[in-house]
Structure 1
């Protein structure tokens, strides 16, 4: 690509390292591919990591606060976003292309303000929809005046982007309605299947004494407020001891203490929680069972698409999708026959499905989820689409 006189492209993210979290993994892959495409014209503006050094980037100093506590998280979001604003105003020029995600939350108003001042072009990759996700997380009520103010403002922030990339059809419907335009571009999350190993029964199951058991359901990922973990526990409570399936929880998050308490109350060896794993052991966690539970709380339609689904597909695991009908993951599971689905917020239906799966697991004919991932949701497919969006914006003005 001829780079003479070419405007710069800024990749702006809170996370950029694959070991940080899913956002870090996705933006790391994005950076790697865009660097090959744009060379020195690609610039990275990212929050520093307290452990790992980030090379060849414009760094934003971190803020050391406990983000599991809502008040400290709010202060963190405000301060870190202001630091991003200073860096953006200093480095981004008129006509440049800015590519961001949706974290930190207040990055959106910061980019909105900076865009008005510097006149750059903005591509927004939407992973979370704010403040609507506060309703699903039971942080605010929809009739709360503060929520209404936030929604009024953030609708305009989202609408300011020149292009909006969403990660599912359900999210497209929500975002298009939010901004009053029908132009959101669907590009599903991407996973490099080479990063995930396929293992036989592993050490995690050996330590639990489950190496010969089948089927084993597992939840691996963020144990947060919108994951719908409570619904799973309620379904297990409905089933009598002796009929409950083996369910393993792996991960950490705001709901983990409640999860521990609920599992202790169940007092059933079939339901276990082992905490989080080091990121280097991701493949171990993704192979610690036969069926991957992918869940979102009731009311999360269009507000997010769990990336853990694609990771589990890379490990060639069928999915149990617990979320609202016609959600992106439910549609994918049904279209490609790679698992089961049940509505969120219906523990009785989930309990019944647990029993049905256990009875018919060895006779159920399913497609290879890893093959489906490679053919439909690969890194190469997503990157080609993203570069097309960047080029369209870069050449339009």
Structure 2
């Protein structure tokens, strides 16, 4: 099977979609398939073309096109960079030999429009990997106005892409419901969640963790938010909780990563004098992911209410792999809330419920035994259901089914008919 993957970010980028794309591509190569990726020559958010135009990594042929001229200078500048990538990626995809199936991601938004083009002109099967939904996300976050001409145009474009795909892979039940509401036929919707590798990310004992030593955590409980501080994430609730707990010397917070709201986090910590209780750090190397996630005793995952279904934060699965409990902030309808509650591996509170969040944090701080038990259930949930082995096997079955054009078979472990 010849597989083409199109996403603006790919190895060696540390963005989540780059890592999951690389994981899937490596797995397909290991199972004897031929994989090619089209990505940008720029690291996400940076100016210039830092990466080679062509190389082979782990048996994956990577073609890099375009470059970022503006980085994250502003919305208009980013749209210009997106347009450059759209054109360059489309031309490269048309020039390459025919592939059996193309997997289009959602970075940049609407790169999935390349899928129907390849389907029409090269008879390539098309799978839409729905990591986020646009224009739903900017509308929900107030960046675009609902009902505006631009919103209606992009909504129409995305619906056409969803309906043109041979399969739309969604990340959770909430996302499946939203895609279904757009008129996408039921037999096109497949639910395959994202993952973490239980072998790559393992629990690291407290006394062996260099992050805890570097940050002078000692025997205190560390609460961490790690990853993207994006426009769809609620940071206000956990920042207010950190302020409420600033005089509790047994608790520390760490805010690790980047994104549009990272500056808001940094400003809040400085404004309220929380530097002694809140650690601020940039993204960390993937090679140290297990150590980073294991440094925390408790992890935060958040999503603005109204954004559930539009995106599904993937950070939860690394947390599960590290054997740590998760505190989810957002709607109980979110896939993340459901996974946490169903597996009893943390707690779920609503956006804005600062008192509730503080109470849960203090409860875990006061009961290390309960905290460790929740972490053990988290690790077990990953191994039994949410690990890379399950998800990657589901992807292989889906792609093999589509390229063989056989009658749909019953969903098996790791994949569900959404």
Q: TM-score under structure 1 normalisation?
A: 0.89
Contact 2:245–2:358 (8 Å) recurs in 1: no
C-alpha distance in 1, partners of 2:307/2:67? 30
* Alignment counterpart, residue 296 of structure 2, candidates 268, 289, 292: 289
Q: What are the residue-to-residue correspondences of 1:17-56 with 2, within 5 Å?
A: 17=11, 19-39=13-33, 41-48=34-41, 50-51=49-50, 53=52, 54-55=55-56, 56=61
C-alpha distance in 2, partners of 1:145/1:243? 51
Q: Which residue does 1:386 correspond to in 2?
A: 395
C-alpha distance in 2, partners of 1:394/1:282? 35
Q: Which residue does 1:178 correspond to in 2?
A: 182
1:308-365 deviation per Cα after TM superposition (whole angstroms, max 9, x unaligned): 1111111111111112113111111111111111122433432343333334444454
Q: What count of residue pairs does the alignment treat as equivalent?
A: 387
C-alpha distance in 2, partners of 1:128/1:295? 15
SS at match of 1:194: coil
1:223 aligns with 2:229: yes
Contact 1:45–1:58 (8 Å) recurs in 2: yes
Residue segments in structure 2 that go unaligned for 5+ positions in a row: 43-48, 407-418
Worse overlay, 260-269 or 354-363: 354-363
Question: Does the C-alpha gap of structure 1 residues 363 and 36 become closer, same or farther in structure 2, counting only changes over 3 Å?
Answer: closer
1:280 aligns with 2:287: yes
Contact 1:125–1:164 (8 Å) recurs in 2: yes
SS at match of 1:251: strand
Q: Which residue does 1:347 correspond to in 2?
A: 354
Question: Does the C-alpha gap of structure 1 residues 241 and 11 become closer, same or farther in structure 2, counting only changes over 3 Å?
Answer: closer
Question: Does the C-alpha gap of structure 1 residues 60 and 179 become closer, same or farther in structure 2, counting only changes over 3 Å?
Answer: farther
C-alpha distance in 1, partners of 2:78/2:241? 31
SS at match of 2:361: helix
C-alpha distance in 2, partners of 1:277/1:79? 29
Residue segments in structure 1 that go unaligned for 5+ positions in a row: 1-6
Contact 2:169–2:192 (8 Å) recurs in 1: yes
Contact 2:330–2:348 (8 Å) recurs in 1: yes
* Alignment counterpart, residue 384 of structure 2, candidates 331, 351, 375: 375
1:148 aligns with 2:152: yes
C-alpha distance in 2, partners of 1:347/1:136? 22
How far 1:51 sits from its partner (Å)? 4.7
C-alpha distance in 1, partners of 2:186/2:83? 31
Worse overlay, 51-60 or 76-85: 51-60
SS at match of 1:42: strand
Worse overlay, 357-366 or 143-152: 357-366
SS at match of 2:194: coil
Contact 1:167–1:305 (8 Å) recurs in 2: yes
How far 1:30 sits from its partner (Å)? 0.9
SS at match of 2:228: coil
SS at match of 2:347: strand
1:109-154 deviation per Cα after TM superposition (whole angstroms, max 9, x unaligned): 2333443333321011111111101123321232433222221221
Contact 1:19–1:279 (8 Å) recurs in 2: no
1:130 aligns with 2:124: no
* Alignment counterpart, residue 266 of structure 2, candidates 260, 285, 291: 260
Q: Which residue does 2:413 correspond to in 1?
A: none
Worse overlay, 104-113 or 335-344: 104-113
Q: Which residue does 1:4 correspond to in 2?
A: none
1:61 aligns with 2:55: no
C-alpha distance in 2, partners of 1:209/1:176? 49
* Alignment counterpart, residue 166 of structure 1, candidates 166, 170, 185: 170
SS at match of 1:11: strand
SS at match of 2:127: strand
C-alpha distance in 1, partners of 2:77/2:175? 29
| Aligned Cα root-mean-square deviation (Å) | 2.4
How far 1:373 sits from its partner (Å)? 0.8
C-alpha distance in 2, partners of 1:278/1:385? 28
1:209 aligns with 2:202: no
C-alpha distance in 2, partners of 1:52/1:311? 27
Q: Which residue does 2:113 correspond to in 1?
A: 109
C-alpha distance in 1, partners of 2:183/2:107? 19
1:173-193 deviation per Cα after TM superposition (whole angstroms, max 9, x unaligned): 111112432231111112212
Q: Which residue does 2:312 correspond to in 1?
A: 305
Q: Which residue does 1:199 correspond to in 2?
A: 204
Question: Does the C-alpha gap of structure 1 residues 267 and 378 become closer, same or farther in structure 2, counting only changes over 3 Å?
Answer: same
